[in-house]
């Protein structure tokens, strides 16, 4: 998997490093106008096994999107002792 880069050749923090779609992160884009991000939803979790699936060059630089986080939870629920 390759890093998602913007037109300037930098990693695009607005795109999910797993599916490359917009991540709708309120912290890294225009949505951050005082509203909380979707990632604060207590129903969403980000287990270590999901985070290590992010390409190393994008870790802590681009957020996983809600769809990927939910899909991961649905697929791996219970496999890690509950997510």
Residues 6+ apart with CB under 8 A from 6: 12
- Write down the number of H helices and E strands in the chain: 2, 0
Per-residue pLDDT band for 23 (boundaries 50, 70, 90) equals very high
Percent of the chain exceeding pLDDT 70 equals 72
Sign of CA dihedral 4, 63, 54, 77: negative
pTM: 0.72
More confident residue, 62 or 28: 62
Mean of all residue pLDDT scores within the chain: 80
What is residue 33's predicted lDDT score, i.e. its pLDDT? 53
DSSP 8-state code for residue 67: H
Q: Where are the domains of the chain?
A: 1-83
When mean pLDDT is compared across 5-9, 41-45, 52-56, 78-82, the lowest value belongs to: 78-82
């Amino acid at each position: 998997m390759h890093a998602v880069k913007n037109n300037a050749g930098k990693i695009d923090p607005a795109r999910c490093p797993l599916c490359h779609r917009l991540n709708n992160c309120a912290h890294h884009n225009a949505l951050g106008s005082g509203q909380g991000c979707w990632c604060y939803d207590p129903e969403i979790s980000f287990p270590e096994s999901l985070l290590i699936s992010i390409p190393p060059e994008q870790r802590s630089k681009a957020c996983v999107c809600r769809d990927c986080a939910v899909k991961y939870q649905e697929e791996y629920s219970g496999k890690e002792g509950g997510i």
